[in-house]
Amino acid sequence: MTGRVFTKLLLAFVLVLSISAAILDFTLRGIVEHSLRAEAAQSLVGKARLLASEARLGDSAQLHQAADRGAFDAGAQVTFYSRDGAVLASSSPADSLNTIPDEVRAALADPRDARQSERDGMLYVAVAGNGLVVRLAYPLTSIRDTMHVLRRDLLLASLLATGLATLLAAFFAHRAAQRLGRIVTFAGRISAGDFKARIEEGNLDEISEVAHALDSTAARLEASFHAQETKQRELAALLDSMQEGVIAVDAGGRISWSNAVMQRIAPGAVRQGQALVHAVRDPEVLACVQAALENRELRSGKATSVVPARIFEVNAAPTPGGGAVAVLHDVTEIERAEKTRRDFVANVSHELRTPLTSISGYVETLLEDTMELPTHAREFMAIILRNASRMNRLTEDLLALASVESGDYKVKPRPVTAAALMQDAIDSLTGMVLDSDVTLEAGHTTNAVVLADEDALTQVFGNLIENAMKYGKGGKSVVVGAREVEGFVEFSVQDFGPGIGSEHLSRIFERFYRVDKARSRDSGGTGLGLAIAKHIVLAHGGGIRVESELGSGATFLFTLPVVNSSPVVQPAHDAGKAAPATA
């Protein structure tokens, strides 16, 4: 780099000096030659006027003497002409010809001015005066000889000056190349990550200003880099202190970073620069990361094959640089405890069903017996039957919830129109409202096709309608509807009761959660119906939510994905007329 800059600067200096010297030589030679010619012509004119004033017309001897003396003094040929152009006297025999030169003819025509011309290497000057014309012929060889010497001297001086200037230019070019070389070395060290590099240039010129600016930039980069390193170390320490495994990949799916927990989860397999698919073979982890990379969206899942006998909750998110980061949270103990809880609830509920059925049967038999029982005994029997029935419903709901929450729960969806599914649910649940003052009505619907397990969806509708009847009695009606919204069919169950406070909406689908506990106990609810409905809808790939304001009733909505090209299967029950069912 330094050599190239030095060569370019030196060649540029030499070229400029050579051009300047050539221009100076050409200009100076032209000026000197013009000056010599003008000076010679002026001198000849003066001598010609002097000879004309001294010449005596008619004295041939005196004219010949004057011509010889003038030729000696001026170093030129002297010729006297009469007014008719005849040669009167001459210092050169060749001028005795009868031809009249042009300059003599011009002087005879206008005696006031001196006339001159050049031809055949001679400078001619003709002056009229005292009745005759004096012509001087001066050879230009002396001027040419003088110019030859001048050109030689100028060439030698130019070469000497160019040589000295070249040496000086080489010195300055070398210094400039060295300074630029220090800047190049500085840039190379900065690009290699050495932010301590400095140029340390003095205050000389613009290059020094550039060097100072680069030094300031390097200082700021060094400070920023140190701050970034500190933050990165703090972040790495923070991530290493987490209980979750964290792994980051670039846009090409190659591992760019992983914390200590991830290294312990997959020892030796996770290496920077390696493809994630070669380090982690779990399909759920790969699917979540791929979705975050391609769709730039959050994706969650559950991995079971990262480590044998361990279960990880996977959350993958896109990063600004086009990559993605995945967090693996070990939920093995949570899943084990949850499974133990579900098994315990299912076992206890199953074991309670038989004695509760027996209690209910015996109490009903005693109450229906015609023998006389004391009044207080019948009251106690009724209380026993009511609570046994409530406990029986609770065990049934617990068994249902344990089933839908288990990983083995599978729905059996078939394509069916939303209108037929909704009407089938209404027809199946008509008997539920016969003993109440609430009217069950069919609202707006759609013929879009969805994939649904009809029995499971009937249970969802049943739980939502039962909930609306219990807590929306003040409205006297429950409206069931469906509409198509952006690739989904949204089903709704709306009541016109007192509504639900906004503080309860986020927890309404939790198991055993009750908005009004005293009122729920009076109505005989178990607090599990909405939780069961939520898990069934999620198993269908849909979502469920509630919209409500105090005093304006509540609307429970759940969605199912639309199917565009599947044969429609009619539900098991007749989906005929949509007549409202009334008590």
Handedness of CA 262, 266, 268, 274 (dihedral sign): negative
42 and 98 assigned to the same domain: yes
551 and 469 assigned to the same domain: yes
414 and 551 assigned to the same domain: yes
Crossing angle of helices 60-74 and 2-54, rounded to 10°:
160
Residue 174 lies in a domain: no
The number of domains in the chain is 5
318 and 344 assigned to the same domain: no
Looking at 387, 403, 419, which one is the last position of a domain? 403
Q: Which pair of structure tokens corresponds to residue 38?
A: 């003008």
Contact predicate 315/298, CB 8 Å: yes
pLDDT confidence of residue 203: 67
Contact predicate 17/169, CB 8 Å: yes
271 and 234 assigned to the same domain: no
pLDDT tens for each residue of 73-119: 777 888 888 887 778 788 776 655 567 787 887 877 777 778 888 88
Run of H or E residues at 544 = strand 543-548
Residue 159 lies in a domain: no
Contact predicate 476/496, CB 8 Å: yes
Q: Is 576 exposed, middle or buried (0-12, 13-18, 19+ CB in 10 A)?
A: exposed
pLDDT confidence of residue 581: 35
Q: Assign residue 545 the CATH number of its domain.
A: 3.30.565.10
Say which amino acid occupies 118. Answer: E
476 and 350 assigned to the same domain: no
544 and 420 assigned to the same domain: yes
pLDDT confidence of residue 503: 83
248 and 236 assigned to the same domain: no
Only one residue has tokens 């003040």, namely 474
pLDDT tens for each residue of 38-70: 888 888 888 888 887 777 777 777 877 887 887
Q: Which pair of structure tokens corresponds to residue 348?
A: 């206890």
CA 513/CA 347 separation, integer angstroms? 22
DSSP-derived pairing of the beta strands 439-442 and 414-417? unpaired
377 and 318 assigned to the same domain: no
SS3 letters across 148-215:
HHHHHHHHHHHHHHHHHHHHHHHHHHHHHHHHHHHHHHHHHHHHCCCCCCCCCCCCCCHHHHHHHHHH
Report how far apart, in Å, the C-alpha atoms of 415 and of each of 106, 420, 451 are.
Answer: 125, 11, 4
Walking along the chain (583 residues) 10 residues at a time, the average pLDDT comes out as 64 78 80 82 83 76 80 81 80 66 80 80 83 84 80 81 80 76 79 76 72 81 84 80 86 87 79 85 89 89 85 91 89 82 74 79 78 77 80 74 70 88 84 74 90 88 86 75 90 88 84 66 67 89 89 90 64 40 32
Of how many residues is the chain composed? 583
Residue 414 lies in a domain: yes
Residue 101 lies in a domain: yes
Only one residue has tokens 């005596």, namely 56
DSSP-derived pairing of the beta strands 122-129 and 245-249? unpaired
Residue 573 lies in a domain: no
Domain extent, residue 305, equals 242-330
3-state helix, strand, coil in the chain (%, to 5): 55, 20, 30
DSSP-derived pairing of the beta strands 324-330 and 414-417? unpaired
pLDDT confidence of residue 523: 54
Run of H or E residues at 366 = helix 332-368
Residue 281 lies in a domain: yes
* CA atoms in the 13 A half-sphere facing the CB of 143: 19
pLDDT confidence of residue 371: 67
Give the helix ranges, DSSP H, for 55-96: 60-74
CA 496/CA 516 separation, integer angstroms? 17
215 and 142 assigned to the same domain: no
Q: What is the largest CA-CA distance in the chain?
A: 197
pLDDT confidence of residue 551: 80
DSSP-derived pairing of the beta strands 543-548 and 245-249? unpaired
Residue 113 lies in a domain: yes
pTM comes to 0.47
Report the DSSP beta bridge partners of residue 452: 414
Residue 166 lies in a domain: no
Helix, strand or coil for residue 291? helix
Contact predicate 578/442, CB 8 Å: yes
Looking at 386, 403, 420, which one is the last position of a domain? 403
249 and 129 assigned to the same domain: no
DSSP string, 14-64: HHHHHHHHHHHHHHHHHHHHHHHHHHHHHHHHHHHHHHHHH--TT-HHHHH
Residue 388 CA, chain-centre distance (Å), reads 67
Looking at 127, 146, 165, which one is the last position of a domain? 146
439 and 482 assigned to the same domain: yes
DSSP string, 378-441: HHHHHHHHHHHHHHHHHHHHHHHHHHHHSTT-----EEEEHHHHHHHHHHHTGGGGTTSSPEEE
